[in-house]
Amino acid sequence: MTVDFKAEVEKRKSDMMEDLFSLLRINSERDDSKADKEHPFGPGPVKALEHFLKMAERDGYETANIDNYAGHFTFGEGDEELGIFAHLDVVPAGSGWDTDPYEPVIKDGRLYARGSSDDKGPTMACYYGLKIIKDLGLPVSKKVRFIVGTDEESGWGDMDYYFANSGLKKPDFGFSPDAEFPIINGEKGNITEYLHFAGKNAGDFTLISFTGGLRENMVPESATAVFTADSSLADLQKDLEAFTSQYPITAEVSEDNGQFSVTVYGKSAHGSTPEEGINGATYLANFLNQYAFEGAAKAFIALTANVLHDDFDGKKIGVAYTDAKMGALSMNAGVFSFDANSDDNTIALNFRYPQGTDAKTIQAELEKLAGVTKVTLSEHEHTPHYVPVDDPLVATLLSVYEKQTGLKGHEQVIGGGTFGRLLERGVAYGAMFPDYVNTMHQANEFADVEDLYRAAAIYAEAIYELIK
């Protein structure tokens, strides 16, 4: 049977965009301050999950909600099962938007909203790809389980809970529409390691607090330090103006009851590509490093300024490593937390590492850093993942991509982590096309509208080829 999948998408463009807009209007950021038994990651992710599952029920699918952690709907019958893994949670919107991040708007062919490219836009494109197969009644021999999570951007607690409590075995093979074409069949390992600092402050300058970063997998767009100083506001303002004139940042300083506050603004980016951002926290430390801080504050500031700043490949901290197939290790200094009233201040470093090194090897080197009292690891680690290019899953997905685009397909390994790695035979597939502008985890995130329609057609044919 020959189907013009592009033409089928054309018939459904307005419906697809209407459904996507309704999903993008839901603020599904994780909010631990409002988390409870009914809302494990806060109300927003639950609202998005319920909305998506109601949409699937509207279209005639059988759905399941696994205690508001994750959910799925199913299609088709067969002994083998294709899994499609997407996520409905988003990273915090942050500041610097030209539009309301939760009121989607299309300008010059671009759809602006938090989640438009990561991952609600691709999720909807894939949803409509499968919907076309269902609407047309195409014959299939395998089952499809479309699974949506609510904690992909944080700790993947959604998928841990889902597989432990859904009562279902993992699908036999599958993909996640949460990256780029032509395919992602390899993903580096992912671990966050925490540098701890202890001790009392001293010196002519005393650090009261230093905060920066919203998530470990985001480059901090800004950071703020509060301190007392043997200086005047005018002198600090002069120093700050001289400092910012040298770099692509902005900053401000103020005084309140003898305490000074300095905020530096950079640019956020995805934690897997820290070199694409401007780390407000490490630039703030560079500014403060000229002053006479002592003790734990001195260690915290000096290490950030002298070692972590612009050390995207881990060379300065001694953990740089490159694998011939998976590429180089990368490091994002993501979250900074210093409080003068605490004896345990931390810097969270997120590493994307290739095969050939591991979390313990990285930890051993970090423990050698001056001023660091200990190094701890996050509970969740993803080890390197790879599906050979000659696997039928990879070969089929590349073939459909080549057929629809006329472009040559090839394998890719990334530092980003996707739900594709949940399966031994799992990959990431779309929805971004080569040479796209990557605004994931940034202000003014957008997806090209026509690219989402193109992706929907690719997903439709790819799913059909895998289950027909």
Question: Which residues are the active-site residues?
Answer: 89, 152
Distances from the Cα of 386 to the Cα of 306, 319, 357, 383, 422, angstroms: 35, 22, 15, 10, 11
Q: How far apart are CA 192 and CA 338, in angstroms?
A: 18
Is the omega angle on the peptide bond into residue 119 within 30 degrees of 0, that is, cis? yes
Q: Between β-strands 413-414 and 186-187, what pairing exists: parallel, antiparallel or unpaired? A: parallel
Q: Between β-strands 206-212 and 330-339, what pairing exists: parallel, antiparallel or unpaired? A: antiparallel
Containing H/E element for 318? none
Query: What is the three-class DSSP state of 193?
Result: strand
Distances from the Cα of 15 to the Cα of 12, 136, 462, angstroms: 5, 16, 21
Beta-strand ranges (E) seen in 266-389 are 294, 322-323, 327-328, 330-339, 345-353, 374-377, 385-386
**Token duo for residue 101:** 């991040």
Containing H/E element for 211? strand 206-212
Q: How many CA atoms lie within 13 A of 33 on its CB side?
A: 1
**Main-chain phi, psi angles of 456, to 5 degrees:** -60, -40
